[in-house]
Amino acid sequence: MRTALAIFTAAAIAATAGGCGGTNDTTPVACLDGPGAYLVALRQAPGEARIGGEVPISDCLAENQKGGDLAGVGAATVSAATELNAEARAKPGGAANLRLGYLLGAAQRGADETGGIHAELLRRLSAAARYSPDNMPLSPAFTRAYRRGYDAGNARG
């Protein structure tokens, strides 16, 4: 996991080093509080899950985000997705499935307006969310709850 986070950090810094000339590059401070902040916020899913009770998860993916902030948000969200995936596989169709989907839907919502700088983060989140040992198919219950969460996160995340 540490190697993956190190690679993600390096990729995030490299992706933003060129600096696109925009103005929306501020990451809300709450988004940098680690995976626990995301997991606590996601307890509100499928309602509005807000980090620190105030910041929608989608706002954590800022346009022209600084490399260090992108790496911090990436590490926290991938870690949260990894933890939720393990819980969701253990209890298909449960709350962890819905929360996992919400996280991915909210991340997609935030990334939709950022010109592609979050593409690698979305790829890593998707891989963490849909991980299955030995590439076994995820259960229909897992997929249904995940989809419900994804739709909610994409609509209001």
At position 95, the amino acid (one-letter code) is: A
| 3-state class (DSSP) for residue 48 | coil
At position 32, the amino acid (one-letter code) is: L
For the cut 70, the answer to whether the pLDDT of residue 46 exceeds it is: yes
Question: For the chain, how big is the Rg over CA atoms in Å?
Answer: 15
Helices (H), ranges, 91-115: 95-111
Tell me the whole-structure pTM to 2 decimals.
0.84
89-130 per-position pLDDT tens digit: 999 999 999 999 999 999 999 999 888 889 999 999 999 999
